[in-house]
Structure 1
Amino acid sequence: MTKTEYSKMAATLAIALKSLFSVLGCLITATVIYTVATDGLPFRIELLTPWMAATLIDFYIHIFVIWSWVVYKESNWTTAILWVVLLVCLGSIATCGYIVLQFLKLSTQESLQDPIYFVLLRRQEKTETEQQRKCSLLTARILFPALGSLMLVTLIYTIVTDGSPFRRDVFTPWLTATVIDFYVGVVALSVWVAYKESSWLSAALWIILIICSGSISTCAYIALQLFNLSSQDPVYLVLFSSSNRAEKGYKGTSRTESIGEGQLRKKLCG
């Protein structure tokens, strides 16, 4: 593949992802509006069935994953906190809005190189001491397995006490809306997994696992990536593919040189 062909494919990918998350954001917004109009507000105790509670735990673990990225991305704590509040209150509406905004911020050069990399990348350098890096990595290595275990226990408990979720009476209008909201977030995480994995087969396997078991597999995947980092690495390196890190000796600052072109070219060519 020539550099021109690669650049065209990268630009097409950026446009496709921006369009995808714009459509998904509109879809979940319409879903919420429709559910409010037909079933009223969700702040009612009778809606908190066992499976709704389990779904919300699953949903907010994914929100926590996205929140972690947002906190890394935003250099201003006020902006970061604002987005965290929006994520908690609006779920995938805010997720899609934030992702689309990051794609809109890309320069033409970044879109032609590796758009996913630059969307993930923090715009300003973040300095950490070695002790802070080790502490952050250790905390993350404990936290994500714990969250995955929490969801696994929640799932088992709910099945034991309330039976299978595959019953018509389980799917109230608001549970259906929450499930749609949840899977919009799964799309965002699936794009990240596809970017991370060098093989389409392994990417497909992880995406299927995340679709089927939700945040249990998400936390397992993140934990695996965290344990692949060395103790000297900053925790945010988990966001980036090993190819990006290895090729450029990644330092975490925004750069516009050709970063990770080999990785993206390989994925685009299958």
Structure 2
Amino acid sequence: MAKPVYTVNALRILFVVLGCLMLGILIYTLSTNGSPFRRELFTPWMTATLVDFYINVIALAAWVAYKEPNWISGAIWIILLVCFGSIATCAYVVLQLFKISSQDPLQDPLYHVLLRHWNKNDVERHKTISFVVVARVFFSALGCMMLGTLICTIMIDGLPFRKELLTPWMEATLVDFYINVVAIAVWIAYKESSWVTALLWIVLLICFGSLTTCAFIVLQLAHLSSQDPLYLVLLNDHSSNPAIIKHDAF
């Protein structure tokens, strides 16, 4: 019992610290470099970074939309994700972590963070289309879009490893991007049964960003049949056990 409690507390501290860090960086960059909505800031690599950033935001927003009990709260959180990036991500994750009560079975605390408690009106239980297939196509398309963006940017502007590209707003955007990467990396570490494969995926995530996010999601979706509920993609093999889900989903 102690280990899951320590895990929850460690994740709470981690995302509180990351959220405060990003908030401080945002305030500092605004005060020293003004608004980010200036045309000269939108270099080819800044544009590619924003595309990369927002594809990860889409993946996080899909989870938020699933988690929230109604479309109004879901829409509010998604708008916050779009506007405030990883600050909203950290706030949402911390909120979900604090919803874990002492009455919850803590053998798998991330199960309670990731999974929504279903009710009889949920679309997934009365589906007329395969959301698994839709998600496969959707994230495959996003991955292809990011790959195309990356190739085009390299052809137009060369490699990104140049000091002049690291403007204050580019640095702030990269911190924002990688805090969201931390959130996705926690999920990947939870999903993978082997720490070796988890580490490999996380390294790829750090190096290739949303390309890896999309590849990982599509690969996990490939393990599901078209008739499976889409939320199973969030869970690891143990937590995907039908008996566990049946016990906790209502």
| TM-score category of the 2 structures, normalised to the smaller one | over 0.9
Matched, 1:139 2:134: yes
Tell me the TM-score normalized by structure 1. Answer: 0.88
In 2, distance between residues paired with 1:131 and 1:13?
A: 35
In 1, distance between residues paired with 2:242 and 2:8?
A: 22
Deviations 1:54-85 (A, max 9, x none): 00000000000000000000011110000010
Q: Is the 8 A contact 2:132 2:225 kept in 1?
A: no
Amino acid at match of 1:158: T
Matched, 1:74 2:68: yes
The 1:198/1:247 distance shift into structure 2, 3 A limit, reads farther
Partner of residue 84 from structure 1, selected from 78, 97, 106: 78
Amino acid at match of 2:235: F
Partner of residue 29 from structure 1, selected from 3, 23, 26: 23
Q: 4+ residue stretches of structure 1 with deviation over 2 A? A: 109-113, 123-133, 246-255
Residue 104 of structure 2: SS of its match in structure 1? Answer: helix
Tell me the TM-score normalized by structure 2. Answer: 0.95
In 2, distance between residues paired with 1:224 and 1:93?
A: 28
The 1:111/1:182 distance shift into structure 2, 3 A limit, reads farther
Kindly state the Cα deviation for residue 112 of structure 1 after the two structures are TM-superposed.
2.8
Partner of residue 212 from structure 1, selected from 195, 198, 207: 207
Kindly state the Cα deviation for residue 137 of structure 1 after the two structures are TM-superposed.
1.4
Number of matched residues? 248
In 2, distance between residues paired with 1:184 and 1:143?
A: 24
Partner of residue 124 from structure 2, selected from 112, 116, 128: 128
In 1, distance between residues paired with 2:105 and 2:21?
A: 25
Unpaired runs of 5+ residues, structure 2, are none
The 1:252/1:183 distance shift into structure 2, 3 A limit, reads farther
The farther-off stretch of 235-244 and 10-19 is 235-244
In 2, distance between residues paired with 1:183 and 1:237?
A: 26
The 5 Å alignment of 1:169-208 reads 169-208=164-203
Amino acid at match of 1:144: F
Kindly state the Cα deviation for residue 131 of structure 1 after the two structures are TM-superposed.
4.6
Q: Is the 8 A contact 1:121 1:252 kept in 2?
A: no
Q: Name 1:224's counterpart in structure 2.
A: 219
Kindly state the Cα deviation for residue 157 of structure 1 after the two structures are TM-superposed.
0.7
Q: Name 2:92's counterpart in structure 1.
A: 98
Matched, 1:48 2:37: no
The 1:111/1:54 distance shift into structure 2, 3 A limit, reads farther
Aligned-residue Cα RMSD (Å) equals 1.6
The 1:128/1:252 distance shift into structure 2, 3 A limit, reads farther
In 1, distance between residues paired with 2:172 and 2:128?
A: 40
In 1, distance between residues paired with 2:129 and 2:96?
A: 26
In 2, distance between residues paired with 1:14 and 1:249?
A: 20
The 5 Å alignment of 1:142-153 reads 142-153=137-148
The 5 Å alignment of 1:3-18 reads 7-18=1-12
The farther-off stretch of 13-22 and 226-235 is 226-235
The 1:76/1:253 distance shift into structure 2, 3 A limit, reads farther
Unpaired runs of 5+ residues, structure 1, are 1-6, 256-270
Q: Is the 8 A contact 1:122 1:253 kept in 2?
A: no
